[in-house]
């Protein structure tokens, strides 16, 4: 009997395209050792790192942590999200958003 | 007590001392000391499959939300750090696309200065470049934006170039010489302002290798110039066919073409022109 690892890559891509990133992370946690390389390949294909005025150093630290781990071998797309400093209206708007959400109910 | 005094003598506080038992990565995250350019260079040295580096902004959460005023300065500083990091790496094995999405491209006080030597060294390691910007008027002061544009213009080795903008001043005369970008294979312009005498030979020279050409909106100054541009191209194609040289163009899209008059060049005229340019079944849309 063939194991799940023997599935062709095309089929894996089809299955994984229906899964969210969170689902994939959950699957990775409970998957066998033989399955890990395939999941890692899809999971760490794109990584997101926030950079900016305050987040810049954090982003740099995270990038260095990634480069020290095995994740770096799988990364194809590196997305750097520019985060600016604290913006007071953001809090106000998110509060308004939440209140609108509850008003709908 | 002894330990605390020792740590304090080194210039650290008790608060920092507590982190010493944690893993290195977590310490660095909590007490970041590393620069973005250094970390980026380290990352590039380790990774072997990286194909795209994309710089973008955080997705809008709410439709009323606007970009904060310090965004252009922060973005430009991050770009400079990335270029610095790229220039430090000697060799990158994979073909890399640099995508600058939502790029403000304005000169602000916080933008920083572009070191042209470092920037051109960094761009030399990039194969494809994509710039997506709204842009604004350049003003009279030269700075970050003009220096970076000069570096982009001199990148003759680029194989892919995608410039998406909706502001006519941002990339005006970006194509200023027929010998620019000698190795281009894929070209996309959202808004193109150029001269027919430059753009005609520029495109004609790339025809043997060109696989994709997309022009969203093209402007030349002289009336009737687009016909001249494509005429140059058509002659080149005839010469290639005579030599038995194959054409590679598979994607060819044109939005609207203007040549010094308010009305765009008629679609029928474009169809006539493009029909004679096609090598294979093309994706022509208007």
Residue B26 confidence (pLDDT): 60
**Which tens digits make up the pLDDT trace of B190-202?**
888 888 888 888 8
Query: Is position B200 within any domain?
Result: yes
A85 vs B contacts (CB less than 8 Å): 68, 70, 74
User: Does B36 lie at the interface with A, CB-CB under 8 angstroms?
Assistant: yes
**Which tens digits make up the pLDDT trace of B140-150?**
567 788 888 88
Comparing CB atoms, the residue among B34, B65, B74 nearest residue A64 is: B34
Residue B128 confidence (pLDDT): 93
- Selection from B74, B100, B18, B107 nearest residue A55 by Cα: B74
Query: Is position B166 within any domain?
Result: yes
Counting Cα atoms < 13 Å in the Cβ hemisphere of B121 gives 16
ipTM of the complex: 0.78
Global confidence as pTM:
0.77
Query: Is position B67 within any domain?
Result: yes
Query: Is position B23 within any domain?
Result: no
Judge contact between B80 and B112, C-beta under 8 A.
Answer: yes
Count: domains in chain B: 1
- Average model confidence (pLDDT) across chain B: 76
The two three-digit tokens of residue B45, written as one number: 């040295």
A94 vs B contacts (CB less than 8 Å): 61-62
Q: What secondary structure does DSSP assign to chain B, as a single string? A: -HHHHHHHHTT--HHHHGGGGS-HHHHHHHS--S-HHHHHHHHHHH-SS--EEEEEEPPPSSTT----TTHHHHHHHHHHHHHHHHHH-S---S--EEEEEEE-----TTS----HHHHHHHHTT-SEEEEEE------S---HHHHHHHHHHT-TT-SEEEEEES-TTTTTT----TTSSTT--EEEEEEEEE-HHHHHHHHHHHTTT--EEEEEEEEESSTTHHHHHHHHHHHHHHHHHHHTPPP---EEEEEEEEESSSSPPPHHHHHHHHHTT-SSS-----
Comparing CB atoms, the residue among A50, A75, A87 nearest residue B50 is: A75
Residue numbers in chain B where pLDDT is lower than 50: 1-20, 279-286
- Selection from B252, B259, B222 nearest residue B237 by Cα: B252
- The whole-angstrom distance between residue B61's C-alpha and the CA centroid of its chain comes to 26
A59 vs B contacts (CB less than 8 Å): 36, 39
User: Does B7 lie at the interface with A, CB-CB under 8 angstroms?
Assistant: no
- 3-state SS of chain A is CCCHHHCCHHHHHHHHHCCCHHHHHHHHHHCCCCCHHHHHHHHCCEEEEEEECCHHHHHHHHHHHHHHCHHHHCCCEEEEEEECCCCHHHHHHHHHHHHHHHHHC
Count: domains in chain A: 1
Torsion of CA A60, B97, B156, B235, to 10 degrees: -160
Question: Looking at chain B, which residue has its C-alpha nearest residue A101?
Answer: B62
B62 vs A contacts (CB less than 8 Å): 93-94, 96-97
Kindly determine whether residue A56 and residue B42, on different chains, have CB atoms separated by under 8 Å. Answer: no
Comparing CB atoms, the residue among B40, B55, B61 nearest residue A63 is: B40
The two three-digit tokens of residue B165, written as one number: 């903008």
Residue B97 confidence (pLDDT): 92
- Is A103's pLDDT higher than 90? no
Range of the domain at A87: 4-104
**Which tens digits make up the pLDDT trace of B122-168?**
999 999 999 988 766 555 567 788 888 889 998 889 999 999 887 77
Residue A40 confidence (pLDDT): 86
Range of the domain at B183: 38-275
Query: Is position B124 within any domain?
Result: yes
A65 vs B contacts (CB less than 8 Å): 25, 28-29
Residue A76 confidence (pLDDT): 92
Kindly determine whether residue B61 and residue A93, on different chains, have CB atoms separated by under 8 Å. Answer: yes
Comparing CB atoms, the residue among B35, B62, B68 nearest residue A84 is: B68
């Amino acid at each position: 009997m063939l194991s799940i690892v023997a599935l062709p890559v095309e089929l894996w891509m089809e299955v994984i395209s229906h899964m969210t990133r969170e689902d994939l992370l959950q699957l990775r946690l409970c998957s066998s050792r033989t399955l890990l390389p395939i999941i890692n390949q899809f999971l760490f294909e794109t990584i997101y790192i926030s950079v900016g005025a305050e987040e810049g150093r954090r982003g740099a630290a995270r990038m260095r942590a990634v480069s020290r781990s095995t994740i770096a071998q799988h990364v194809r797309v590196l997305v750097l999200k520019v985060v600016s400093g604290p913006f007071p209206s953001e809090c106000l708007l998110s509060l308004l958003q939440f209140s609108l959400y509850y008003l709908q109910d | 007590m002894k330990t605390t005094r020792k740590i304090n003598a080194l210039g650290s506080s008790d608060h920092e001392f507590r982190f010493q038992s944690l893993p290195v990565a977590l310490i660095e995250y909590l007490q970041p000391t590393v620069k973005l350019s250094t970390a980026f260079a380290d990352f590039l040295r380790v990774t072997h499959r990286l194909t795209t580096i994309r710089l973008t902004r955080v997705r809008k959460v709410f439709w009323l939300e606007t970009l904060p005023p310090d965004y252009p300065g922060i973005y430009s500083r991050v770009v400079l750090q990335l270029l610095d990091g790229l220039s430090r790496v000697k060799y990158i094995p994979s073909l890399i696309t640099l995508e600058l999405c939502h790029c403000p491209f304005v000169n602000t006080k916080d933008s920083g200065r572009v070191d042209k030597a470092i920037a051109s060294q960094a761009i030399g390691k990039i194969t494809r470049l994509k710039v997506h910007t709204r842009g604004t008027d350049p003003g009279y002061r030269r700075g970050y934006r003009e220096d970076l544009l000069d570096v982009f213009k001199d990148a003759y080795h680029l194989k892919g170039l995608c410039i998406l903008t909706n502001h006519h001043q941002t990339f005006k005369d970006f194509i200023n010489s027929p010998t620019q970008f000698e190795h281009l294979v894929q070209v996309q312009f959202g808004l193109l302002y150029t001269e027919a005498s430059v753009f005609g030979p520029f495109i004609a020279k790339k025809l043997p290798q060109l696989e994709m050409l997309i022009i969203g909106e093209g402007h030349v100054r002289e009336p009737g110039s687009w016909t001249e541009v494509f005429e140059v191209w058509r002659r080149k194609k005839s010469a290639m066919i005579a030599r038995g040289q194959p054409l590679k163009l598979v994607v060819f899209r044109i939005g609207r073409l203007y040549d010094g008059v308010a009305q765009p060049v008629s679609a029928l005229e474009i169809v006539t022109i493009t029909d004679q340019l096609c090598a294979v079944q093309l994706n022509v849309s208007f």
